[in-house]
Structure 1
Amino acid sequence: MKLQPVDIQTLTPEIFSVFGQRNALLTAGAEGKVNPMTIGWCQLGRLWSIPVCTVYVRPERYTYSLMEQGDYFTVSVFPEEAGDILRLCGTKSGRDVDKVAACGLTLRRGAGDAPFFDEAEWVLVCRKLYAQDLSESCVQDGTHILHHYGAQGWHRMYVGEVVEAYAR
């Protein structure tokens, strides 16, 4: 069964069992380039009275430049048996590898020409609303936070309005 458009209000992903355990692909595209990146951090909810999805990308990542250039991004959750796709997209850089081709993914487009993949279980298409760099100076209790940072930079947070959703 192919992914079909669904009402955002009826999609109820089990976010705590997906992010951090199964994970997902954050995908951005600009100037004809598309890059999926495995993510384990994501928030879904309501902010400013609209449905939003918040993702985080370090400036060192190839996806960062695509997120900065484009107005849309997608979050695609794959079935558990797609672990090889998530491993490759989490360990290889889009600077060096065409991950879409390497994984044999079927590229589709949503609102704003946002790239996503037909092999996913569900997809959120998001329009960027807000971006802000996380900062050590704002950390209140570093117990669970500071070990994520060392030689690499702090993440940039992107809040996107969920404008479309697709599910099987």
Structure 2
Amino acid sequence: MLKNFAARLKSRIASEKGSVLLMVALGMVVLLGCASLVTDVGLLYTSRNRLINAADAAALAGAQELPDKPEMAEAVAREYAKANGVIEDNLEVEVSADRKSITVKPCQNVRFLFARVLGFTEQEVNAEATALTAPLTGAIGVVPFSIEEQVLKIGKQYVLKEGSGGPAVEGADGKMSGWYGAL
């Protein structure tokens, strides 16, 4: 019986019947793998870029409200994330304890197109962006147009320019407003 089975197997392999079917099946798996690599990995890449852009926009918008209004900063960040296609349930927004930074973490489940045939259905994509408020510590190429002539005293605060000489309007808070031109 075993001899008979071995003989039949040997003749089957030698006859090459059905080998085209096997080659086509293997070729289809390779073709689907390549299609999956191109489309599904491209879909993941595109989704991640969209999430990064949404997180950046939301963090920068929320940081405009810091440090004075942390609740408003979170609300604005959520609004901007939603406007950029992030679902509310997939969004985490956190204002730091010192109220100087805001972190936005969106995520999204991306459903595959061709990889489903190979057993992969979806993948979670994450992004994170943090924006903070800080004073300007330096700038390159910014030069004042005029400085009052006076003796320099270290540690004293100096007024570089006050008004433009043109019309200015005093506001309700007592501050002058108007176009002062360049620094």
Please indicate the TM-score interval, normalised by the length of the shorter structure: under 0.3
Name which structure has the greater RCO, CA cutoff 8 Å, separation 6+: 1
Of structures 1 and 2, the larger Rg is shown by: 2
What TM-score comes out, normalization by structure 2 length?
A: 0.20
Taking structure 1 as the reference length, the TM-score comes to 0.22
More helix by share: 2
